[in-house]
């Protein structure tokens, strides 16, 4: 398989601790897979390799790509569950109407911050509820596994999407970093969008400084046009707290992104007309909050545009689409809830949305906000 020079540096490195700064669309999963295959070709036993991802979907994708190697691939929770289940029965708490979703999130953040945030008032009642029913939640899995993971026998540990790591997960990893363990973390702080549930992208800096991890870069983007990358780079460079990098495109096609400004009604009409005219039936419509797409979803159905997908920025993470419409730009940065009041994370969230687009990108708003001005794109009033 042909690798570019950046990818080769990552695949064949001899460094024991590595952080791979992997930009959107730069082939990070491919690098992880190729490095694991390379290690096995050099005599490393598959039983000595552990790969940790952040979602079940990502774990399944990694397993499919590593089908011939049978390497251990888990989420954090999956790994800890299997470890604990060897010695006792595990009953997981499933969300129900006993507790509010927002309370569950606050409790999770308290646990995964190792008690560094304020203890929720409902915490003790919640823990009593779990204990009386013999239940554990997902964070409890990691907490209970802290004493068990030190006995692992892996020699090579990979972690994907490292920018989404919380303090509890990082403590688990540190417990596993024996002197003879090689550690390879992959991530992009510009795509760190889960601060509201405890993710600490600054752990990347901690890893680089405490463990003297080698910083390697993947900046070549194979997904998006140069015009899309230009606006994405302009946006994210507004953030101060980041590791500097610039995405560079490999595609020759160059269709310019455009901003539409108009009323909600005129925007809805324009989107439908554009999809029909250009046959963008596999397009995706992205937004910050679900309420922003309620009307549009019904309008698409009435126009028999059933294949057009609608999803939030968070839901689109890790995906790519030929044509992307971003609606509701006038609401950014979203600061209605103190839990989400972080302008740099809101900018990273938009960055994720922009970099889902491969060729066609339409940015839609009802007003010309400062963020719209910062994008410096052509504007069409509709």
Region for residue 25 given its phi and psi (left: phi exceeds 0; alpha: psi -120 to 50; beta: otherwise): left
The answer on whether 175 is annotated among ligand-binding residues is no
Show the tokens assigned to 6: 């950046």
Q: Strands, E, within the chain: which ranges?
A: 17-22, 49-53, 72-75, 156-159, 182-187, 214-218, 220-221, 248-249, 258-261, 284-287, 309-312, 321-326, 357-365, 379-381
CA gap 218, 245 in Å, rounded: 9
Q: In the block, which residue shows the tokens 């994370």?
A: 345
Burial of 207 (0-12, 13-18, 19+ CB in 10 A): buried
Is residue 153 classed as helix, strand or coil in its secondary structure?
Answer: coil
Show the tokens assigned to 22: 């992997």
Q: Which of 212, 247, 324, 284 lies closest to 25, judged by CA? A: 247
The answer on whether 266 is annotated among ligand-binding residues is no
The answer on whether 28 is annotated among ligand-binding residues is yes
**H-helix segments, 49-193:** 56-65, 76-85, 101-112, 123-132, 138-145, 167-176
Q: Which of 199, 235, 217 lies closest to 355, judged by CA? A: 235
Give the contacts of 251 (CB within 8 A, at least 6 positions apart): 222, 224, 225, 226
The answer on whether 357 is annotated among ligand-binding residues is no
The answer on whether 85 is annotated among ligand-binding residues is no
The answer on whether 115 is annotated among ligand-binding residues is no
The answer on whether 323 is annotated among ligand-binding residues is no
Q: In the block, which residue shows the tokens 């953040």?
A: 109
User: Which parts are annotated binding residues for ATP?
Assistant: 22-29
User: Which parts are annotated binding residues?
Assistant: 22-29
């Amino acid at each position: 398989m042909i690798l570019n020079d950046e990818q080769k540096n990552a695949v064949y490195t001899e460094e024991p601790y590595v952080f791979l700064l992997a930009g959107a669309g730069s082939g990070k999963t491919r690098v992880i897979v190729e490095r694991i295959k390379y290690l096995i070709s050099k005599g490393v036993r598959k039983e000595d390799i552990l790969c940790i991802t952040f979602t079940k979907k990502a774990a399944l994708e990694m397993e499919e790509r590593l089908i011939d190697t049978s390497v251990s691939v888990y989420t954090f929770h999956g790994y800890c569950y299997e470890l604990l289940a060897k010695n006792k029965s595990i009953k997981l708490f499933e969300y129900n109407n006993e507790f509010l979703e927002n309370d569950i999130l606050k409790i999770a953040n308290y646990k995964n911050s190792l008690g560094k945030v304020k203890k929720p008032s409902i915490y003790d009642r919640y823990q009593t509820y779990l204990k009386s029913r013999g239940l554990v939640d997902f964070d409890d899995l990691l907490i209970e596994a802290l004493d068990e993971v030190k006995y692992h026998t892996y020699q090579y540990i990979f972690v994907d999407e490292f920018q989404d790591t919380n303090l509890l997960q990082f403590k688990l990893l540190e417990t596993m970093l024996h002197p003879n363990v090689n550690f390879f973390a992959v991530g992009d702080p510009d795509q760190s969008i889960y601060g509201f549930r405890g993710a600490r992208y600054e752990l990347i800096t901690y890893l680089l400084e405490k463990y003297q991890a080698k910083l390697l870069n993947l900046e070549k983007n194979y997904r998006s046009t140069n015009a899309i990358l230009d606006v994405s780079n302009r946006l994210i460079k507004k953030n101060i707290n980041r590791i500097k990098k610039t995405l560079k495109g490999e595609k020759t096609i160059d269709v310019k992104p455009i901003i539409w400004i108009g009323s909600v009604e005129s925007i809805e009409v324009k989107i439908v007309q554009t999809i029909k005219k250009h046959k963008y039936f596999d397009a995706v419509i992205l937004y910050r909050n679900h309420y922003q797409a309620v009307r549009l979803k019904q309008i698409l159905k009435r126009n028999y545009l059933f294949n057009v997908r609608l999803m939030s920025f968070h839901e689109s993470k890790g995906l790519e689409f030929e044509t992307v419409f971003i609606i509701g730009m006038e609401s950014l940065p979203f600061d209605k809830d103190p839990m989400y009041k972080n302008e740099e994370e809101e900018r990273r969230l938009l960055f994720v949305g922009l970099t889902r687009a491969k060729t066609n990108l339409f940015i839609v708003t009802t007003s010309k906000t400062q963020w719209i001005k910062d994008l410096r794109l052509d504007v069409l009033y509709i």
